[in-house]
Amino acid sequence: MKRRRADLPEGAENPLNAAVTERDRSTLDMVAEAVRHNQTVLAYQPIMQAMAPHGVAFYEGYIRVLDPTGRVIPAREFMHVVEDKEIGREMDCLALQHGLKALEHYPQIRLSVNMSARSIGYQRWGQVLDRFLKRDSTLGERLVLEITEASAMAAPELVTDFMGRMQQHGIAFALDNFGAGTTAIGNFRQFFFDAVKIDGQFVRGISRSHDNQAVVRALIGIAKQFDMLTVAESVENQEDAEFLVENGVDCLQGYLFGAPSVTPPWIEDMKKQQEAG
């Protein structure tokens, strides 16, 4: 009788699961090698003011690794493999270190960096932050730390305690993926978020989706109720941008305004200003 796919011999591993495991192991090895040899960078994307003068409000720095050929690997290709492991905390350390170095070298910019609630208790991450703040106490006033809904709600007491301690340094906090998680509205009272970033799934194509329009209007209303800045992620066309601005979004981020670039975009802006002057 022909064996069905589900009828594997006892102790045999499903070929698909084996392939996924091997792929994840390979990804983990690649990231570990990149960390070991300091082959990591930030890619920067501008976040624009929705209202005049429509300048850059701040930039977001996304962690990237370089593979053995020097190819830049975006976080979406490895973060799901490393985020719950110690190497994920190392990635948070490197992202923070790269971001603080950029703030040191370019005092005219403001920058956001992603972090996990797990990193709050990770000794090296805290040491990186403390070291830079001791060197220049003004860095905190230009730093935004982004935490996803899922991460914040996994350890709310840890996150709120950390936020309270960081207020003295002027560090701002943004709730990432707003609307995609399960944050109870009442929990906003215990957090100290300065901004929310509306998840891109509700933003892409919003000018043509009545359902997404209703969701985003509600999210904007919640943010305004708690006096938080609103940032719309994944803005990819002018029609979507116009709807968001008309409905009160404070800042816009997406490929319409620029893709993440490992070459800091403000350097090109500085050159243009010098040439114009």
CATH, range 26-265: 3.20.20.450
Closest by alpha carbon to 85, among 124, 118, 117? 118
Q: pLDDT grade, residue 15 (50/70/90)? A: low
Structure tokens at 86: 């110690």
Domain boundaries, the chain: 26-265
Q: What is the pLDDT of residue 87?
A: 92
Q: What are phi and psi of 270, to 5 degrees?
A: -65, -40
Burial readout 227-260 (b: 16 or more C-beta within 10 A, e: otherwise): ebbbbbbbbeeeebbebbbebebbbbbbeebbeb
Q: What is the pLDDT of residue 186?
A: 64
**1 pLDDT above the threshold of 50:** no
* pTM for the full predicted model: 0.89
Rounded Cα distance between 98 and 242, Å, is: 34
Rounded Cα distance between 215 and 12, Å, is: 46
Q: What is the pLDDT of residue 13?
A: 57
